[in-house]
Every structure is written in C-alpha cells, then in structure tokens.
Copies of this chain bind each other. A is one copy, B any other.
Amino acid sequence: MRSYVHGYSEKESCRLAAQAGTLTELLHGDTAYPAGSRVLEAGCGVGAQTVTLSRSSPGAQFDCMDISAASLDAARRMAAHEQLANVTFRQGDIYHLPYRAGSFDHVFVCFVLEHLADPLRALAGIRRVLKPGGTLTAIEGDHGSYYCHPKSRAADLAVRCLVRIQAEAGGDALIGRRLYPLLSGAGYAAVAVSPRMVYVDASRPALVDGFTRKTFTAMVEGVKAQALAMRLIDEQTWNRGIADLYRTTAPDGTFCYTFFKGIGARP
C-alpha cells in the first residue's frame, strides 16, 4: 500500500475531499447514468468521487471497489454519513476484478490509472466486465500541464519531484495526455477525450483557495519528506518552490492545470 504516492493520512483524506468539492462541476458535470444501470467505480479510495456519482445518478446502482481496506472503511463511513442508498463497497484488485464478464453497464475510474504500473492491462480487464456497448469513463490529471505566473524554476523543480516520486512508485503523473492512446490501445471503441482545464486568477477566489492552495500546492507539499529522502531536491529549493506556488495566489498571479476525461465503449 505504501506505493500510493499521496499516502493514506487523515490530512490526505481532507485534501481529496476539498479537491472533489472544487472540481465537481468541471470533472463530473456531464456524467449521469440512467436509472437501473449497474455501475462499477474501480479504485474508489476514500469515496471522494462516490458521493458525486451517487447523487448525480440516484437511480443507478454503484459497486465501489478499492484495494485498500482502510480506504474502504473511510468510504463506508462517508457513505453512511451522506446517507447514500445506491452504493455498496467491496475490496478487490483492479488487475483481477472480482466480477463476471459483462457484469456492468458502465465503469468509472478517477485518479486511479495514474498510480498503476500497467494501466493498459487494467483497462483491458475493465473492458471484460463491461456489457457490450457499455462505457468506461476515466478521469486523470497531468502534472506536466501545470504552469503559473510568476514563473518559477524552483516551483517547476518541486512539481517535478512529485512526477518522479510517482514514477518511482510505478505510476505516471503525466498520464492525462495518454488517455486517448490508452483507451484505444485497450480495445475501446468510439474513444472521446476532452481536456478539463482549471485556470485560476484573482477573479476566481474559490479556485485560488480551493484549487491552487488546497488541492495542487497541498498535493506537492505532501511529498516533501519523500523528495528530500530520495535526494531529488535540496530543502532550500523545495521551500522556495512551495513559496513560489503560494505566490501565484497573489492578486497578480495565475495558475493553470488540466485534467483529461476519456470515454470509450466496449465493442
């Protein structure tokens, strides 16, 4: 479990919840499943997206699966607290999905493929559990899409640490740009990928706080100990990089990041 780059701490659960709140409309606004659909959320984690899924599609039935028992416990508590009636949880491995072929009308994966050493194999396995004509929806970020004003070499280096740590753990923090070839390569049909860009300036104070500060910069800050232990950066450069990321939240600063959302159908 240690290879999950963002860790499993309480603080991290808060970050994921804040992220989900800020980005809900941008990422999930166009996802709704018909009543009666059976939907798998593969890699649901602590349930950060589950509440949105459940509420956007009240007539669908969600099977939410994750490899981490601790995350599932948190997700179950969240679902009980939010009184989600159309959600069940189950532990399982995304490479060996514990479902028969053709079990689902739709599958949803969000911020999961970036952590996998072999996303193509996972996507092929997901295809197997879809009914013919059923769809996969995948949402991923791409840390290479980040840029800001004022520009900062130290901030770039700090962000690059996150990319390298995720690569070291077997993942790919630059996977957003690869969604199209991954879904196509895994045998999905009618693949359509759309970018979801987050642009932040002082006229968008909710994003300044909710995205630049509490989502992106908090995520980078979360790997400080690992980055220093792995000697990817010296502490002075790191601290300056983090300070420069916060500097972009000043009235004359701007910040950019892009998520990618891909949809494909089982032929």
Q: Which residues of A contact B (CB under 8 A)?
A: 142, 144-145, 147-149, 151, 174, 177-178, 180-181, 184-185, 191-195, 197, 199, 201-203, 251-254, 256, 258, 260
Contact = CB atoms under 8 A, between A and B. Distances in A.
A220 to B, nearest CB: 18
B151 A174 contact: yes
Contacts of A147: 142, 144-145, 177
A252 B149 contact: no
Contacts of A251: 181, 184
B177 A254 contact: yes
B199 A194 contact: yes
Contact of A181 (B195, B197, B252): B252
Tallying the copies of this chain within the complex gives: 2
A157 to B, nearest CB: 15
A256 B258 contact: yes
Contact of A180 (B191, B197, B254, B258): B254
A202 B182 CA distance: 13
A203 B191 contact: yes
B181 A254 contact: yes
Nearest to A178: B149
A257 B123 CA distance: 27
10 contacts: A144-B151, A147-B177, A149-B178, A178-B254, A181-B251, A181-B253, A184-B251, A193-B203, A195-B197, A197-B197
A144 B201 CA distance: 17
Contacts of A178: 149, 254
Contact of A203 (B142, B192, B203, B253): B192
B185 A193 contact: no
A177 B144 contact: no
A145 B193 contact: no
Given A192-B203, A197-B258, A256-B195, A181 B149 contact: yes
A258 B254 CA distance: 14
A177 B149 contact: yes
B202 A180 contact: yes
Given A193-B199, A195-B197, A177 B145 contact: no
A148 to B, nearest CB: 7
Contacts of A191: 203
A206 to B, nearest CB: 15
A211 B199 CA distance: 22
